[in-house]
Structure 1
Amino acid sequence: MLQDSKLKFLSQVGKALAGQFGKDCEIVIHKIDSNDMDQSIVSIENGHVTSRHLGDGPSKVVLEALQKDPDELVDRINYLTRTHDGRVLKSSTLYIKDEEGNLEAIFSINYDVSSLIAAESAIKALTATPEEKEAESEPNLIPQDVNELLDELIRESIKIVGKPVALMTKEDKVKCIQFLNSKGAFLITKSGDKISKFFNISKYTLYSYIG
């Protein structure tokens, strides 16, 4: 359980970082409580970067962390994510653990580099040669709320199978459901109702696919 004194310290550090790097730097602290993950954000600075507020729910990174053994969690520094409106962020994720090694909070830094990328692209257009090729990768979405997060996870499951729900076999749906389970989708309140309806299966069938 995240103690108030530790939360106060982390919030103080977050405020300092946001002040140092300005309005494009968002600092988010998620409190880890498996009984209440729909309102995981307990501290946020410059929330306009991802349009999130105090009391909003988890990101994909948070749900994935809950599915892992805390010993496997290693801080992830300097990777790309994206917002719902397409802006690109440079992010870092720190896993805060208690004395027993249990995960109790996630400290995230999200810096909006969209304007820098636009400037870089303009310069690259002038300097690039035909032989140059860049690897393209899609940054992870940082959702505004748990509903958007669940929609994103469902879209990812469909990409893995590679066909629309109407054409899916039982094996395809099982693969989708097990992917969603591995990503922590069922930690979201009432996610079972939405997922079973989307895949046109009963809740009984849904949970049999998880097993």
Structure 2
Amino acid sequence: MTEDSSLEMLVSTAHGIARQFGKDCEVCIHDLSVKDLEHTIIFIINGHVSGRKIGDGASKVVLETLEAIEKGDIIVDHLGYRTTTQDGRILKSSTVFLKDSTGKYRWVLGINYDVTALMNVDAALQSITTVESHDSSGDGQIPLNVNDLLDNLINQSVKRIGKPPALMNKEEKIQAIQFLRDAGAFLITKSGDKVSNFYGISKFTLYSYIDQSKK
């Protein structure tokens, strides 16, 4: 099967999912072969759910997966986890990773179903609205671009430590930077400048902390 036919089948699947669940179900396809992480979305239907469009960038889960691929970790799908939109609506999300004909991970199929209204209805809908509370993949909001994503990740790194950067010691900053590294934050262009400025350290110190966090 050619790459074009595989993508065509994936787009057909996305249309089917969106048609089955209606206008509150967003389905998008990311192309992992795209070098620019700000423009990984090559297809999206019902983009009004998250406010994204074709040409927008990678999500937190996609970044984490790219980082895991580079490290040689086992890749697993993230199914039925909770995310939120910029305006606070609750989504039930699933992220599926797909390989090309060479066996490399090439595409990501993302499904985001707006369950905000369903959270208040009869218990008969509980099986639809239940989300996996143990899956942390959905921490934070779905960003509109990679700059928003980087801001979200930096805020999460601060929450992990529980104090502002000015009060953190060296070990705490290393822990925060380890979180950012594992989340794939440093795959974003010029992220090193923003992180080093935020934590009040030099670029040289940042790279030193990254190396120490690997150990």
In 2, Cα distance between equivalents of 1:136 and 1:190: 32
In 2, Cα distance between equivalents of 1:137 and 1:178: 19
Cα distance 1:34–1:8, how it changes in 2: closer, same or farther (>3 A)?
Answer: closer
Q: Write the letter of the residue equivalent to 1:102.
A: K
Is the contact between residue 82 and residue 89 of structure 1 (CA under 8 Å) also seen in structure 2? yes
Range with greater deviation from structure 2 (173-182 or 68-77):
68-77
In 2, Cα distance between equivalents of 1:98 and 1:137: 27
Q: Corresponding residue for 2:46? A: 46
Q: Root-mean-square deviation (CA), in Å?
A: 2.4
* Secondary structure in 1 matching 2:121: helix
Are residue 115 (structure 1) and residue 117 (structure 2) matched? yes
Q: Corresponding residue for 1:80? A: 82
> What is the identity percentage for the equivalent residue pairs of Structure 1 and Structure 2?
51
Range with greater deviation from structure 2 (47-56 or 74-83):
74-83
Q: Corresponding residue for 2:180? A: 180
In 2, Cα distance between equivalents of 1:33 and 1:52: 20
Q: Corresponding residue for 1:68? A: 68
Where do 5+ consecutive residues of structure 1 fail to align?
A: 125-134
Q: What does 1:33-182 align with in structure 2 at a 5 Å threshold? A: 33=33, 35-69=35-69, 72-119=74-121, 139-140=138-139, 141-182=141-182
Where do 5+ consecutive residues of structure 2 fail to align?
A: 127-132
1:51-89 Cα shifts (integer Å, max 9, x gaps): 101111111110111122477112232222111211111
In 1, Cα distance between equivalents of 2:143 and 2:54: 14
In 2, Cα distance between equivalents of 1:106 and 1:156: 24
Is the contact between residue 34 and residue 187 of structure 1 (CA under 8 Å) also seen in structure 2? no
Count of residue pairs brought into register by the alignment: 199
**TM, length-normalised to structure 1:** 0.85
Are residue 199 (structure 1) and residue 199 (structure 2) matched? yes
In 2, Cα distance between equivalents of 1:4 and 1:137: 33
**TM, length-normalised to structure 2:** 0.84
Q: Corresponding residue for 1:18? A: 18
Cα distance 1:34–1:20, how it changes in 2: closer, same or farther (>3 A)?
Answer: closer
* Secondary structure in 2 matching 1:163: coil
Q: From the CA coordinates, give the structure whose radius of gyration is larger.
A: 1
Is the contact between residue 38 and residue 189 of structure 1 (CA under 8 Å) also seen in structure 2? no
In 2, Cα distance between equivalents of 1:168 and 1:67: 26
